Amino acid sequence: MNTPRRLEANVDGDFYVNTACINCDTCRQLAPDTFSEIGDYSAVTRQPVNQEEKQRTFYALLSCPTGAIGSKDVRGLGEARQLFPLPLTNGIYYCGFTSRKSFGGSSYFLVHPDGNWLIDSPRYFPFLVRKLEKMGGIRYIFLTHRDDVADADKYANHFSAERIIHRLEQSAQPDAEHIIDGMESVEWGKDFRIIPVPGHTRGHMVLLYRNEFLFTGDHLAWDREAGKLDAHKDYCWYSWSAQCDSMKRLLTERFEWILPGHGARVHLRFENMRKAMETLVWEMDK
C-alpha cells in the first residue's frame, strides 16, 4: 500500500489533507472556511487565522474517517478533542469520529430522561466511549439504514444498548434487538416517531424527535452551495420514485431541524422548512 502523500492543492501552512481522503465532506461541514472540494478530494484552501478557526479545523482532523488530515502544529488538539461530542441543541450532540465503514457518515447522541439514544454509529473510539459513559450511556441505537451502521454492534455490546433497524436492512445488524416491519410509522414513547422512508435503500427510516428534530440518514440533507434541501439522487441505491413518495409523506410531518448522515445540517423555522420541503418534492417530481 502506498503511503498517503500531501495533496498539491493544499495551501502552504500547518494543516493539510493527504491522498487518503475519500471526499466524504466531513471536514467541509466542520470547518468550511478551511477546507474546499478540489477535484476528487478535499484540501486546505485557507489556513485558519484565529483560535476559533483552528479549533474547528482540529474538529475536522479528529472526525476524518481515514485520518487524511494532518498538522505540523498540534497545540490545541487535545483541548479540541475534550469538547466531543459537540453540542448542537437541546441535548443533541454531534459524535464526530466518523467511520470509513459508513463513508464518514455523521452520527448523533441524544440525551433523554428515559434513556439516551445514539443515531447511527461513529467508529468505536475509546475516548468517545468514555465520554458517552459520563453522559449516561446509551439505551437505544437507532440505525437509519444499512450503510451507516459502522460500529453499532460494538457500542451495543459495551453499553448493553438496544438497536433498532428495519427488517429490510437487518442483514447489516442481524442480531439487532428491535426490528421494524412494514411501512407504517411507529410511535416510540411519547417523544419519538420512527418513519420508514424507502428510496435510498429499501428499508431506510428516519427518526422524528418531539416534532422538531428529524434525523434523516441519507434520505434528506441541506445543500450548502445551493442553499436548499437535497435528496442525493446520485446516491439513491434502491428507487428514486420510492424516495420521492417517501419525501411527500414527510410533508405531513412537523420539524424544524434536519440532522443527516451525509450532507449538511440545517435549522429553519417551520414555515420555511415546509416551503423548502415543497420545493424539493416539486423538483424531485419533474
Please write the tens of the pLDDT for every residue from 61-113. 999 999 999 999 999 999 999 999 999 999 999 999 999 999 999 999 999 99
Would you say residue 1 has pLDDT above 80? no
Beta-strand pair 221-223/213-217? unpaired
Residue closest to 209 by CA, chosen among 179, 231, 229, 187: 187
For the chain, percent of residues with pLDDT exceeding 70: 100
Q: Is 274 exposed, middle or buried (0-12, 13-18, 19+ CB in 10 A)?
A: middle
User: What was the pLDDT predicted at 286?
Assistant: 84
Q: Quick check: helix, strand or coil at residue 19? A: coil
One-letter amino acid of 227: G
Backbone angles phi, psi at 235, to 5 degrees: -120, 25
d(C-alpha 179, C-alpha 233), whole Å: 27
Angle, helices 152-159/126-134, rounded to nearest 10 degrees: 40
Domains and CATH numbers, the chain: 15-72 (3.30.70.20), 83-285 (3.60.15.10)
Query: Average pLDDT of 30-56?
Result: 98
Span 147-161, pLDDT tens digits: 999 999 999 999 999
pTM value?
A: 0.97
Compute how many other C-beta atoms are within 10 angstroms of the C-beta atom of residue 178: 15
Is 243's pLDDT higher than 90?
yes
AA identity, residue 112: H
Q: Residue 203: is its pLDDT beyond 80?
A: yes
